[in-house]
Amino acid sequence: MPNREGETSVYRVIDLTDNAIFEIGCLFVAEKKGKPLKGRADILVSDILEKKLKVHSQPTPHPRHANIVAWPEDRTKVRLLAQQLAADATLTFVSTE
């Protein structure tokens, strides 16, 4: 879901190992929120663009950071798009072993 500014924070992780991806998640997401990292959802940019959303590079706080933008104003449409993106995503959970 987008934040109040109409953006959804994401990281471009192509060509990164799982460990490198989880390191970014720990340092730049979980630690910032003061919560443990539980997992990640991977989605292709093409799946985002297919839904008429856009991905804008935002290299702060990390060079691989970006935002999903161009969400509609209608909250019902936003929820539908978010559900479609979630269905397209591949979930990977942090191992508790």
Residue by residue, pLDDT tens for the chain (97 residues) are 999 999 999 999 999 999 999 999 999 999 999 999 999 999 999 999 999 999 999 999 999 999 999 999 999 999 999 999 999 999 999 876 6
Q: Examine residue 81 and state whether it is found in any structural domain, yes or no.
A: yes
Q: Examine residue 85 and state whether it is found in any structural domain, yes or no.
A: yes
The boundaries of the domain holding residue 85 are 8-13+41-93
Q: Examine residue 30 and state whether it is found in any structural domain, yes or no.
A: no
d(CA 48, CA 54): 7
Q: Examine residue 24 and state whether it is found in any structural domain, yes or no.
A: no
Structure-block tokens of residue 65: 């950071």
- What is the pTM assigned to this prediction? 0.91
Q: What angle do CA 9, 64, 97 make, to 5 degrees?
A: 80
d(CA 97, CA 81): 34
DSSP state of 89: -
Answer yes or no: are the C-beta atoms of 92 and 37 closer than 8 Å.
Answer: no
**What residue type is assigned to position 56 of the chain?**
H
Q: Examine residue 69 and state whether it is found in any structural domain, yes or no.
A: yes
**What residue type is assigned to position 63 of the chain?**
P
Q: Examine residue 63 and state whether it is found in any structural domain, yes or no.
A: yes
Q: Examine residue 83 and state whether it is found in any structural domain, yes or no.
A: yes
